[in-house]
Amino acid sequence: MTAPKSDSAFAGSIPQLYERYLVPLIFEPYAIDLAARVAARSPSRVLEIAAGTGVATRRLAATLRPGTTIVATDLNRAMLEQAAALGTARPVEWKQADAMRLPFGDASFDAVVCQFGAMFFPDKAKALAEAKRVLRDGGTLIFSVWDRIEDNEFADDVTRAMAKLFPDDPPRFLARTPHGYHDASAIARDVAAAGFTDEAQIDVRTERSRAPSPREPAIAYCEGTPLRSEIEARDASRLGEATDLASAAIAKRFGTGVVDGKIQALVVTVSR
C-alpha cells in the first residue's frame, strides 16, 4: 500500500513539538547507538539522510573524530531549519535533499546513515541504491527502522485509542508508516535490490521510553507527528480530545506518574 503524502508532512508546529516531546521520548538512545557504530569505522566524510530535527546529527557531531565532514539532509525544509537552529558541537553542512535523488556525486562518502527515515521512502530499494551510489568502495550504510508497533508500547496505545475515537475510519499513520517497515526479510531484499552484494546485518535493539507523565507521549504522537494531520482531517475540533484519550490510554497501562514503556527497532548495516 502506498502511503499518502500527508505521512511525510512535518509542517506547522509539528517540527517544534517533535523536537520537544518525541526526540527525548524515543530517538535519543538510538542516536547514541548510531553515532557509536559510525565512529567505530573512522569515516572521513559522512552523509546523513532524513536528518529530521537533527537528533542523530547532534550525536554524530559530538562523537566522530575531529576533522570528519558531516553533511545532513532532509526532504522537509521545516524540519531541517529546526535542526540547524538548534545547532551542533561542530560545523555541519545542512542541505535539503530527496533521498530518492541525492545531489551528490558517485563515491562521495565513507558512510551514509539514516535514523528512522527509510520507512518514509516511497521506493525503498531506489533510495538505498542512491545511498550505495554515493558510497565509496568499502563504505558503510547504516540505517534504523522501527520494529512492529506491538513492540513499541506507547505508539500502540495511541493507535488503539485513535481507533476508539474514530471507529469508522481509524487513523493508522503510526502503524502504516513509522512501524510499517519491520519485516527483516523484506529489508534484506530491498538492500539486495539496491545493488549491495554483501549481506545486510540486521540487529534488533530494545530500549526504554520514559516520560514524566502520560501526557508527554500523548502530545508527542498526536500533535508532534503527521498523525495530527490524520486526526484533523477527520475532525479538527477533536485534536485536544484525541490527545486526552491517548493520555488516558497510556495512564491506564502505565499509571499516572512517570511512565516507562518498551521501544524496539532494527538497525541495518551493510558495506559497499
Looking at residue 193, its pLDDT comes to 98
Provide the CATH number for the domain around residue 131: 3.40.50.150
Give the integer Cα–Cα distance in Å for 105 and 47: 12
Q: What is the pLDDT of residues 41-93, one digit of tens each?
A: 999 999 999 999 999 999 999 999 999 999 999 999 999 999 999 999 999 99
| Inter-residue contact 266 to 145 (CB < 8 Å) | yes
Q: Is the pLDDT of residue 8 over 80?
A: no
Q: Tell me the angle at which helices 124-134 and 184-193 cross, rounded to the nearest 10 degrees.
A: 50
The percent of residues above 90 in pLDDT, for the chain, comes to 92
Task: Give a yes or no: residue 113 inside a domain.
Answer: yes
> Does residue 155 belong to any structural domain of this protein?
no
pLDDT of residue 14: 78
For the residues 201-217, what does the mean pLDDT come to? Answer: 97
pLDDT surpassing 60 at residue 6: no
Q: How many domains does the chain have?
A: 1
- pLDDT band at 112; cut points 50, 70, 90: very high
| C-alpha cell of residue 224 | 508532534
Boundaries of domain holding 64:
5-148+176-208+263-271
What 3-state DSSP class applies to 246?
A: helix
Which pTM value belongs to this model?
0.94
Could you tell me the pLDDT band of residue 1, with boundaries at 50, 70 and 90? Answer: very low
What's the CA angle centered on 29, arms 176 and 66, to 5 degrees? 120
Are the C-beta atoms of 211 and 25 separated by less than 8 Å? Answer: yes
What number is the average pLDDT over the span 18-40?
A: 95
